[in-house]
Every structure is written in structure tokens, then in C-alpha cells.
Structure 1
Amino acid sequence: MRTKTLAAVLLLVGAPLLCSPGQTVNFERGSRIVFSSDMGGNADIYLLTRNQLTRLTDDPATDEWPVPDPKGEAILFTSNRSGNFDIYLMNLASREVKRLTSDSRDEVSPSWSSDGSSAYFDREVKKGSWQTTKLDIDSGGLSPLFPDPPYKSTIVAFESRRGDEVYFTAKVFLGWLVAKFNKTSGAYAELAKRGSCRPKPSPDGALVAYVSHED
């Protein structure tokens, strides 16, 4: 499928830092928004509906990067409540929280596979180098999401709703750029020039929004 791209241009000093693993606001299907904010004095997760704002986490640690599952029943988020940043799962109905990772390295920027069976997240494999990892929600099994990627680092992956392509940010010489991986063919393609990052496909797969830094 031919995909168009839509750039959100940032004219900010130091904007390339936004391409590093960080924070986002996510929209669920319907009329709910889940996001992270320090409005309560600490970075926690909130759920906003048309008539109500609900605080989902209340921990002295940093809770951020909430991402709803395809059915809107649970969220993934990252927190350093156990020391370093790990990936957590929250059931929105019961508010039960489950820790999914426990590595001594930071694990951040989670997202979901299109069928909700797996979580994707970024793991710092060595100083300044990140790998996108796949975690099976039921078994807890871990594996690299991208086989032999031609990039030093891969971060902030989002899968298309059809599940055939994964959009991500790739580390290249002196910068970052937007790329995609075709799960069927195994091919990589670069979608935008250096200075772009954080791609996210539209629900129908026709558009990809991303951040772009321009001098």
C-alpha cells in the first residue's frame, strides 16, 4: 500500500532530542485519552473522558508513556518505580498493575502489536544504543523485533493496524530518521530524511504522522 506522510515540524533549539525515547499522549477508540502529566506534583498516568479526569497511577516514581491496547481494555506504560525504567501493564477495569520486565537496563517507549498479543519496547543494549524488543504478553518470551536491522539503534515502534508493517525511528550517522519494516518481505525502507522521528500510522494505514526538525 502506498503511504503518505504528514510531518509535525518543530522549530525548537535542541529538538533532535525529541527523537530519543520519551513521552507521548495516546488516543483510544471512542472518547477517551490516556496521558502522562505532572499536574499532581509527580509524573503519573491519567485517563480523560468527556466528563471526567481520572488519575490511574499515584506512585512517587515516574510513570509515563501510556499506550492503550487495540481493544481499549488495558494500557502499557513505563515506570522507574523499581529503580530503573521497566514496562508495566494495567487493566483499566480493575486497575491491577503487572510488571512485565525486570532487566537492569532501562526499558521504555512501549507499544502494542496489532492483535494485542505482544508488546514492543526499547531496551538500551549498551550506552547510547537501543534495540526494539518484542515481548509475548502471555508467555513473557523476549526477542528482537527487527532481524539484523541496518541501523545502530531502533526506537519508538508502532505497528500498522493490519499488522504487516512496523514504523519506527532509526539511528543513522549524525541523526535519526523515520523508517518502516515489512514483516512479510523483511525489507526496510526509509520514509523521511535525517532529522525526522516518532512515526505513527493512521488507523487506515493511508497516512503516517511524524516529528520533523528543520533548521
Structure 2
Amino acid sequence: MDLLGSIMNSMDKPPSLSEKEKNIIKKRKEEMDRRQAIEKENLRKFKEYTETKMKVFFENDENINMKFTPMNQIYRSIVHEVAESLDLISFSFGIEDVDRYVRVYRKANPPCEDELLARKRGDPWNDDIKKKMIEKRKLDQLESEELNKKPTKKFVPNTNYEDKYVHLIGEISSIEMARKTETNKTYGFVPSENKKDIRSIEQTMADIKAKKKLRQENESKVQEPKE
């Protein structure tokens, strides 16, 4: 303990603030607290003002939606909070730190998908544009229904094969050949059945040997010298 105490005593202590410096720090803190209090009061007043404004506006049944001027994120969050507390719905549109604003709607009259997309793009939107969009959708739906009602066109080949056969070999033959094509049973004057070899293998081999033997005998007779 004595060693630690001696070390602590030997260390340089931070310089003490003068009265003037203490007064400057105190004034800065007081100024910061004052500004925070002012900002807090401003937010409270803005919330009360926004709530009153919404209530009065939506008491009139003809008023459908309400637009606020562009504001920063903190004030926009208050508008959303107040709208939710009054059973309303709200959306933010525009570019952050440029022209971002809040628009509040009745739950009974929410914005359609076309309106949301238009406002997000920064395009204009009003009742006339809405009517035109509704009419266009109805026309598109009617056209689609008409197309579905049209009967499918039956495929008709460009070439009539029966007519083609008529030009070549006559009407009756063309019909028969179009229905069924058969191999002709005759080739020339000999019926095709006569051209088929119906012998067994053993009979065929025996006939070949007999012919060979007969040929050899004929050759040997030709080669024998005459007396």
C-alpha cells in the first residue's frame, strides 16, 4: 500500500479548471439543455396541432385524403403516429431530404395500387386520371374476354392429298390409296406367290446335290472318247 500510495502521489495530477473555464462549460451545458427543451416542446406542439388538424379535416365526409408539407423524418414519424391513433392510414412519398412528405387516408378509402405507384414515381394523380385508369382496365378486361370467347380455328392443310391422287391416277384409285396402301401381289406376268421358295432346308440341299451330280455325269459323258 505504501508503494502504491507513493506512486500515485508521484504522478502528475490533472490541472484544475479555473473558474472561468468552469463557467464556460456550465453555460454550454445549459444552452444544450435549453435547446433540447425547446425542441421537445416544439414536437409536442406539432403533435397536438397535427392531431387537431386531422380531426377537423376528416370530420368532413367529402375529404378523402390529406397531404402534409415536406418535413424531416422526426416530424413525419409524428404524423404517422397521430394517423394511426386516429384509425387512419398514412404513406410517405418523395425523396428523402428533398421533398419527402406524408399523405393520410381514410381506411374506408385507401389508395389504389395505381395511385401508390404513380405517387412513388412522382407522377401526378387526381380523380380524372383515376377514372381513365379504371376505364382502361375495363376495356382491357372486355378485350380479354372477347378473345377467350372466339372459337379456335380448325387447322386445314394447304394440300388436299385426295385431290392430288385424282390428278395422278383417278378419283376411285386415289380414295383407296389414301385409305390404305398395299403391295401389289403380281410383278409382271408371274404371281408373287410363285416366286417364293417354300421348300425346307433339307429338300433344298438334296435338290442342289442332285443337280450337281447330274451335271457331273453329263460332263463325264461329253469327255468320254468315241469308239
TM-score bracket for this pair, using the shorter chain length: under 0.3
- TM-score (normalizing by structure 1): 0.21
> Per chain length, whose mean CA-contact separation is higher, i.e. which structure has more relative contact order (CA < 8 Å, sep 6+)?
1
Q: Compute the TM-score of the two structures, normalised by the length of structure 2.
A: 0.20
Greater helix proportion:
2
Higher Rg: 2
